[in-house]
Amino acid sequence: MIKVLIVEDDPMVAEFNKRYLKEIKGFSLLGITHSVKDAIKFLKNEQVDLILLDVYMPGSTGLELLSFIREQNMAVDVILITAAADKEKIHTAIRYGAIDYLIKPFEFERFNQALMRYKDKYNFFATKNLFSQEDLDEQFFSIDQKPIGDAMSNLPKGLTSSTLQVVLNVIKSKGNNQFTTDDISETTLISRVSIRKYLKFLTSLGALEESLTYGIGRPVYLYTLKLDKLNQVNTLF
């Protein structure tokens, strides 16, 4: 389990982050602190893998905590969750090694994307101690990938490559079994309306086969993954 500390001075926001975190498998909340001072005390007594960190707090700011963590060479990663949207703070957070930056208010879908991406990287480093150049390129530095702008231009308006990857990972886990929009929505915790758009897009590429069945209530679309067509989707990443 990935051990998480929430550092947020607003009790309501901290509770939302806590509830969101509980919806994502593979993460365990160790605690919640409401100031940088308390967070430092917590870090001295507990082994934390990931901090969900606000910037604006009484006393020291979240960026000061991030700086302290780097100065002390602590083995902990940080995702900023904050209303701070100015260039200076975002640039500083990135320079100090924040792995993601969520601007309040945000949807659960974006929160889920950040946590899922982090889990992929966490598991990547947990697999072994030595890596080849190919390993690193595939996970972080691939020069074979299209520039983000080019990849995004291939997607219909309203769809993102990161969410598409999350949806596709769940679809792959289904193998040859049929699934519905609700099946994917329940697993990813992304709205049915959004999931429907991604499934329609994948169907248009030929990666999914769509059929309509009638039962009690509304008609239900059933989907089946066509493995031989996945290369058309992989070109988007």
Q: Specify the pairing of strand 77-82 against strand 27-33.
A: unpaired
Q: What is the CATH number of domain 2-126?
A: 3.40.50.2300
- Asked if the domains at 2-126 and 148-234 fall in one CATH topology, the answer is no
How far, in whole angstroms, is CA 101 from its chain's centroid? 11
Q: How far is CA 97 from CA 41, 55, 73, 108, 137, in A?
A: 21, 14, 12, 23, 19
- pLDDT at position 232, please? 56
The residue ranges of every structural domain in the chain are 2-126, 148-234
Q: Could you give the 3-state DSSP secondary structure of residue 178?
A: coil
pLDDT tens for the 237 residues of the chain, in order: 999 999 999 999 999 999 999 988 899 999 999 999 999 999 999 999 999 999 999 889 999 999 999 999 999 999 999 999 999 999 999 999 999 999 988 888 889 889 988 988 898 888 888 888 877 877 776 544 444 344 445 677 778 877 888 898 899 888 889 999 999 999 888 888 889 989 988 888 888 988 877 666 667 889 999 877 765 565 555
- pLDDT at position 7, please? 97
Q: What is the CATH number of domain 148-234?
A: 1.10.10.10
166 in Cβ contact with 116 (< 8 Å): yes
pTM score above 0.85: no
Q: Copy the structure tokens of residue 199.
A: 């499934």
